Amino acid sequence: MRVLVVEDEPGLRDAVAMSLREEHYAVDEAADGRTGLQKARQWSYDAIVLDLMLPEFDGWELLAQLRKTHATPVLILTARDTVEDRVRGLDRGADDYLCKPFSLSELSARVRALIRRSHGQAKAEIVIGSVVINTANRTVEKEGRPVDLTAREYTLVELLALNRGELVSRSTVYDHVFDENEDSLSNLVDVHIYNIRKKLGKNFVTTRRGHGYIIET
DSSP 77: E
66-76: burial string, b at 16+ Cβ within 10 Å, e else:
beeeeebbbbb
Site string for another protein, 54-73 (x = CB under 8 A): xxx-----------------
CB closer to another protein out of 15 and 188: 15
CB of 74 to another protein, least distance (A): 18
- Is the distance from CB of 78 to CB of 51 less than 8 angstroms? yes
Compute the distance between CA of residue 96 and CA of residue 77 in angstroms, rounded to an integer. 9
**By CB under 8 A, which span of 39-47, 79-87, 114-122, 145-153 interacts with another protein?**
79-87
DSSP 93: T
CB closer to another protein out of 85 and 141: 85
102 binds another protein (CB under 8 A): yes
87 binds another protein (CB under 8 A): no
CA 175 vs CA 45, 205, 213: distances in Å:
8, 19, 14
CB of 91 to another protein, least distance (A): 18
Bridge partners (DSSP) listed for residue 26? 2
Among 71, 79, 109, 191, binds another protein (CB under 8 A): 79
Compute the distance between CA of residue 217 and CA of residue 201 in angstroms, rounded to an integer. 15
Q: Which amino acid is at 126?
A: I
Residue 187 CB contacts under 8 Å (≥ 6 apart), including other chains: none
Compute the distance between CA of residue 198 and CA of residue 177 in angstroms, rounded to an integer. 20
CB of 44 to another protein, least distance (A): 26
Compute the distance between CA of residue 81 and CA of residue 99 in angstroms, rounded to an integer. 6
CB of 104 to another protein, least distance (A): 5
15 binds another protein (CB under 8 A): yes
CB of 58 to another protein, least distance (A): 9
16 binds another protein (CB under 8 A): yes
Chain residues in the site for another protein (CB under 8 A): 8-9, 11-12, 14-16, 18-19, 22, 32, 53-56, 78-82, 99-105
